[in-house]
Amino acid sequence: MGKFKLIMFLVLSAFIFSCSKNNTEPDVVIDKTLNLKSAGDSANDILSNDTYDKIQIEIAYVTGFRPTVTAISDFTDFLKLHTYKENIEFIYKELDSPNEENLTLQEIADLETENRTVYSSGSTLAVYIYFSDAPSEDDVEDEGLVTLGAVYRNTSMIIHEGTIRKLASQSLAVSNADVEAATLNHEFGHLFGLVNLGTEALSDHEDVDAENHCNVDGCLMRAELQFTLSGKSSLDLKNGSYAKGQNPACVLSGSTVMSLLQPSKTARTVEVPGLDAACVEDIQANGGR
């Protein structure tokens, strides 16, 4: 009888082990290289549904620096207006401050490596946006030279939220949400491949003085060239110590955004500018709406 019990115990143990082994899900290997390309390289993937029909946007933000609901709503409308992505998901991840006085793009990229959790896989395209409390290393606030955001990879973006709030506070007409939305939309325009950054320009509308920006007045993708007493300009930001080690498609200056958001003489509020006809024509030819 004892021998029979032993045999039954061994058979039952083997059965349980087999079931446990079969129910173990295999580790999913994520190819992170899909999200380590240059800005603009995934323009068609973002604009069309040919490869990805869903976009997952990870909003990583330092505690106390989460973007406004209004800005994210406006940003979502912008994506639905110009892409075929109807399935848009936002994932919010609160992070501790890196406790840095300022940041370079290389340091921002290192923080992404440490904190990013979503990557493109299957039919889902993943984007990472970091909302920082620290400003750009190259900012010169006394001269009005500040950086609001930058795109440095095909699905990676930095928004200097702390700087945005300081800038917005200087205007009675412009809100945090206005500056956030303008910055998000402008930088995402570069991920759309604008201008001549993965999406071919069908007409001659690239600014000769500002690579990958539009020369049409009032366009969201316009870059304003403004010099200070020091001789520096907003366009020098791509070549400063902030961008060293990375190859950003755009380092967006505060002066550019504020000039785009200035209200008209008769208006009491501001409106975030949209893409001009030439930019819309370009993205439509590359799979967008």
* 151-202 pLDDT, tens digit each: 999 999 999 999 999 988 888 888 999 999 999 999 999 999 999 999 999 9
- In angstroms and rounded to an integer, the radius of gyration of the C-alpha atoms of the chain is 23
Interval 39-59: pLDDT, tens: 999 999 999 999 999 999 999
- The string of pLDDT tens digits covering residues 262-286 is 665 555 577 888 999 999 999 999 9
* Under 8 Å between Cβ of 39 and 78: no
pLDDT score recorded for residue 57:
99
**What's the confidence (pLDDT) of residue 22?**
55
pLDDT in the model for residue 230? 39
Q: Which CATH number describes the domain made up of 37-285?
A: 3.40.390.10
Write down the domain spans for the chain: 37-285
User: The pTM is what?
Assistant: 0.82
Token output for 22:
């079969």
Asked whether the predicted pLDDT for residue 23 surpasses 70, the reply is no
pLDDT at residue 68 is higher than 80:
yes
pLDDT band for position 231 (50/70/90)?
A: very low
Is the N-terminal amide bond of 179 cis, ω within 30° of 0?
no
What's the rounded Cα separation, in Å, for the pair 38 and 61? Answer: 23
Q: How far apart are CA 262 and CA 222, in angstroms?
A: 14
For the chain, give the mean pLDDT: 85
Give pLDDT, residue 228.
Answer: 35
CA pair distance 274, 22, nearest whole angstrom: 53
pLDDT band at residue 147 under the 50/70/90 scheme: confident
Q: Rounded to the nearest 5°, which phi and psi values hold at 93? A: -130, 115
Mean pLDDT of 211-224: 89
What is the distance between the alpha carbons of residues 88 and 58, in angstroms, rounded to a whole number? 11
pLDDT tens per residue, range 5-17: 656 656 566 555 5
